[in-house]
Amino acid sequence: MSILSIRFLAFLAVLLLIYYLSPVRWRWVVLLFANIIFYLSAGVKNAGFLAVTTVTAWGGARLVEQINEKYKELRKLCSTKEEKQENRTSCVKQKKKVMTVILFFNLGLWILMKYFLKASPLGISFYTFIAMGYCIDVYRGKYPAEKNLCRFFVFLAFFPQMLQGPFSRYDRMKDDLFTGHPFSSDRLGEGALRMLWGFFKKMVVAEKLGCVTASIYAGGDTSGGIYVLVLLIVPTLQLYADFSGYMDIVCGVSRMFGICLQENFRQPFFARSIEEKWRRWHITLGDWFKDYIFYPISMGKWAQDLGRKCRKKMKPAIARMVPSYISFLVVWTVTGFWHGSALHFLIWGWLNLIIIAGSMQLAPFYAKMRERFHIKEESKGFILFQMIRTMLLVGMMSIFSDAPSASAAFSICASLFTKFNWGLIKYPLLLLPGLEGWEIAAVGLGLILMLIVDIIKEKGYEIYSVLRKIPMPVRYLGYAFLFYFVILIGNTGADLTGGFLYAQF
């Protein structure tokens, strides 16, 4: 059941009706059955893997909490510090054993299905990481484990976020999920409007830009080096429209039920560095890696000990960063591996690592150069230069994630210098193969609208408040315009597993 389909919209309409007609205390049960129906629509086999992760994560977290409770009871019986320390050590060892089994089992299942059997069940990367984050939070004592298995399933398998996230946290979502919300026409309207905006970004902008990307890659050696410049921009815009469009749809759906999902994007094309770009792009994945991989490694005893040893042989400024660089290496290797097991995905991850680490190390040099050439860091011209530079770097790295292989990626980059065909500049329509003139105009208009919305949000305004200030006839004419474009030229043929770029993960 694709969220781009009429079938899904009918499912959503019926679900909303049942949800708001049900008693407030049982509305979470409606979401429970909605999750089951939605996931079963992708196949019973897929649902089986989700069930295994649900039961093991829920059971493991409950077992960890029981060990904690047992430790608290035994601590009351301890009379000396040595007994208390021994009891605590025993508790930690038991919890670590449970966590090791749960993490290795579920992550092992994810790796087996995705990279060895090449039969990745729908959404397995997302619900596996969400479940493991939940277990680690319970292990750390951040919040108590959920006692009700069905309620835990409502959180883990919340149907709007099953395909591409976001990576939700239990403590942030539990109140919204399990506290029934009164009906609100304003909330329903805001949710529907955000869904419409998401459909427009995905079905008009992303799908048309995807035709350009596919045409260039299909051209192979016949595509001149000038097309590499197109690949530095178009695929990144396509992915942003596709992924953020999905997030608009699922956040809109959730909004209708009174549930607020964490935002996954914060105007990434206003980023002035690669590091800042990742703080604005796929935010919940970045937070997941930061909380469960980066900090545990960089703040771990062995990494800190290594940093102290390095200070004897390296400059203090470099040695101080050794634990962070080790964490960066692990994080970006895992990030590349998360996107795919092929070498070009790992190269993509390592390129991010090299640029981020290099920028951090060269920061004092950059500061001196700005001072020498009298460049004001907050001047509009310099900020614009940084944003364009960052976008082009992102585009260059995206060639390695999008190309069919590492060798193909290197070949594409090399063609920029060996096969550049200036003559094509005379025929701008040829630079966007796969699209007709009117489609290029539609995409251009869509990108302008996306830029306007991002500028409004970047300035700190709430988009719905801004829209309410527009006269009603003009506002509703704009909504009709978006709807007309989606229906008239939107690509509605995408299926559940292939409709969105990140659904493959």
b/e for 111-147, b at 16 or more Cβ within 10 A? eebbeeeeebbbbbbbbbbbbbbbbbbbbeeeeebbe
Per-residue confidence band for 451, with pLDDT thresholds at 50, 70 and 90 = very high
Residue 120 in domain: yes
Same domain, 179 and 192: no
- Residue 269 falls within a domain, yes or no? no
Kindly state whether residues 319 and 381 are assigned to the same domain.
Answer: yes
Q: Which residues of 149-185 are buried (b: 16+ CB within 10 A; e: fewer)?
A: eebbbbbbbbbbbbbbbbbbbbeebbebbbebeeeee
CA atoms of 293 and 331, how far apart (whole Å): 7
Which residue range(s) make up the domain with 422?
Answer: 184-261+407-505
Residues 251 and 310 in one domain: no
Percent of the chain with pLDDT over 70: 95
Q: Are residues 221 and 237 in the same domain?
A: yes
Cis amide bond preceding 166, omega within 30: yes
| pLDDT (0 to 100) of residue 495 | 42
Q: Does one domain contain both 10 and 123?
A: yes
Residue range 393-435, pLDDT digits in tens: 999 999 999 888 999 899 888 888 777 776 777 777 778 888 8
Last residue of a domain, one of 151, 183, 215: 183
Residues 65 and 125 in one domain: yes
Distances (CA, A) of 8 to 14, 20, 22: 10, 18, 21
Pick the range with the lowest mean pLDDT from 56-65, 216-225, 257-266, 373-382: 216-225
Tell me the two tokens of residue 146: 């959920």
Residue 309 lies in a domain: yes
Per-residue model confidence as pLDDT tens digits over 74-91: 776 777 877 778 878 888
329, 415: one domain:
no
Query: Could you report the per-residue pLDDT of 160-183, keeping only the tens digit for each?
Result: 988 788 999 999 999 999 988 889
Mean pLDDT of 84-99: 85
pLDDT at 494: 44
Q: How many domains does the chain have?
A: 3
450 three-state secondary structure:
helix
In a domain, 396, yes or no: yes
Q: For 120-135, what is the mean pLDDT?
A: 91
Picking from 155, 183, 211, the residue at the C-terminal end of a domain is: 183
- In this predicted structure, the answer to whether residue 487 has a pLDDT above a threshold of 60 is yes
Of 339, 373, 402, at which residue does a domain stop?
402
Q: Are residues 36 and 71 in the same domain?
A: yes
Answer yes or no: do 299 and 414 share one domain: no
Predicted confidence at residue 223, as pLDDT, reads 56
Query: What is the rounded CA–CA span in Å between residue 395 and residue 224?
Result: 17
Tell me: do 177 and 190 sit in the same domain: no
164 and 232 share a domain?
Answer: no
d(CA 176, CA 310): 48
The confidence score (pLDDT) of residue 503 equals 64
Asked if residue 268 belongs to a domain, the reply is no
For residues 301 and 344, state if they share a domain: yes
